[in-house]
Amino acid sequence: MENMMLRLTMIASAAALLAAPLTAQTTDATTYVTKAGASDLYERTSSQLVLQSTRDPKIREFATMMIRDHQKSTADVKQAATAARVRVPAPKLEPMQAQMVAELRTKTGAERDRTYVTQQRTAHQQALALHSGYAQSGTAAPLKSVAAATAPVVQHHIEMLQGM
């Protein structure tokens, strides 16, 4: 029993350490705006790419929604950043996102669709952590409001992905 409690404590500690960087990175307004822009850019880029080839109506519908929803979240973050007097850098994919887009480009047909869905699950989990974290502990009120409004949309996307 004591050994099990020790293992549970170690697991909880490891989880807290792994979660800490996500929370820490979301407290800085500039970092939040930069990461949100990169996330939205990835969503739009990967979705446009899959729309070029997919024949699956569910994938097509989801990718079209990703482009629309992530254009809106980009506009919302930019507007909130302006209100908070936070500089909005030009969006740029993070290395992992660029790697995922490159991988998607190498796939075709149903394999591209499967890769897209898998990548979307990962990207949306990261986006949810970003927006939820900033909504809870962010420093700029207009951005906190946008993050709080964006998190449920991202959660809805995750729920949709579970059915794909």
Model pTM score: 0.82
Q: Residue 15: is its pLDDT beyond 50?
A: no
Q: Residue 28: is its pLDDT beyond 70?
A: yes
| Per-residue pLDDT band at 163 (split at 50, 70, 90) | confident
HEC string for the chain: CHHHHHHHHHHHHHHHHHHHHHHHHHCCHHHHHHHHHHHHHHHHHHHHHHHCCCCCHHHHHHHHHHHHHHHHHHHHHHHHHHHCCCCCCCCCCCHHHHHHHHHHHHCCHHHHHHHHHHHHHHHHHHHHHHHHHHHHHCCCHHHHHHHHHHHHHHHHHHHHHHCC
- The pLDDT score that the predictor gives to residue 161 is 93
Q: Residue 137: is its pLDDT beyond 80?
A: yes
**Percent of the chain with pLDDT strictly greater than 90:** 82
| Per-residue pLDDT band at 27 (split at 50, 70, 90) | low
In this prediction, residues 95-99 reach a mean pLDDT of 96
| Per-residue pLDDT band at 3 (split at 50, 70, 90) | very low
